[in-house]
Structure 1
Amino acid sequence: MQLRLAFVSAALVTLAFGAPTLRGESPEDCTTGALECCQTVELASNPSTYQLLGLLGIVPNDLNVLVGINCTPIPFVDGVVLGVCNDNPVCCEDNNTNPYVPISIDCVPVAL
């Protein structure tokens, strides 16, 4: 309950003082896919990432692309971020909807 209250309080403070805007690649520039917040971002060629992709039946076209692991969407409106990403904000081309390990492929880092 306290965690939920802290989250709601943080969201209200963000709305009261204005949400941060993106610096660098903006949501409008994120034309290849969705803006995501990923717990981990690794190259597809990383052995553990490659193995995870294989277990999920995902075969990347290029092993030099970034793969986001445990990703959630970052909502935004008119270039203003409406959420918080304390991990790795990225713009990803292919967002896998695997319910066990949310993965995004072909990601580009985004500065918030």
Structure 2
Amino acid sequence: MIASRIFALLPLAVLAVATPTGGSTNSCNTGSASCCDSTSQASSLTQQQAGILGGLGIAVGSLTGLVGFSCSSLTVIGTSTSCSANQEPVCCTDNTFNGVVNLGCSPLNVNL
């Protein structure tokens, strides 16, 4: 009986770990979780990064917060989330550029 309750609640635990939530500077409550090869503050983009954004028709001057580059969806394995060792987990509000860049990102604490 107890084992069946644990297995019934396990999917909720996985969802809780994988779902970004509000309340701290290392999490967010909007957007989707991603793993990005690099992130930069919009106010301090390199010339190459600004060129990538410009090539996509993104007005660099209107950006705020973090911009993620070479991003992929964050994967859930068991009860933990994972990015590769060289990637940064972030939560981004604009992923319309197929992972080339993600906009409106904030760090995501995956060590819950």
User: Which structure has the bigger radius of gyration?
Assistant: 2
> What's the TM-score bracket when you normalise by the shorter of the two chains?
0.5 to 0.7
Indicate the percent of aligned positions where both proteins have the same amino acid.
30
Residue 56 of structure 1 deviates from its aligned partner by 1.2
Equivalent of residue 39 in structure 1, options 21, 34, 37: 37
Q: Return structure 1 stretches of 4+ with deviation > 6 angstroms.
A: none
Deviation at 1:84, TM superposition (A): 3.3
CA offset at residue 74 of structure 1?
A: 0.6
- Asked whether 1:27 is paired with 2:25, we answer no
Partner of 1:14: none
In structure 2, runs of 5+ residues without a counterpart are 1-13, 22-27
Any stretches of 5+ residues in structure 1 without a counterpart?
1-18
TM-score, scaled to structure 2 = 0.61
- 1:109 and 2:107 equivalent? yes
After superposition, the Cα gap between the structure-2 partners of 1:110 and 1:28, relative to the gap in structure 1 and judged at 3 Å, is closer
TM-score with structure 1 setting the length: 0.61
Offset of 1:97 from its aligned partner?
Answer: 3.0
Which aligned pairs between 1:47-86 and structure 2 lie closer than 5 A? Answer: 47-48=46-47, 49-59=49-59, 62-76=62-76, 80-81=80-81, 83-86=82-85
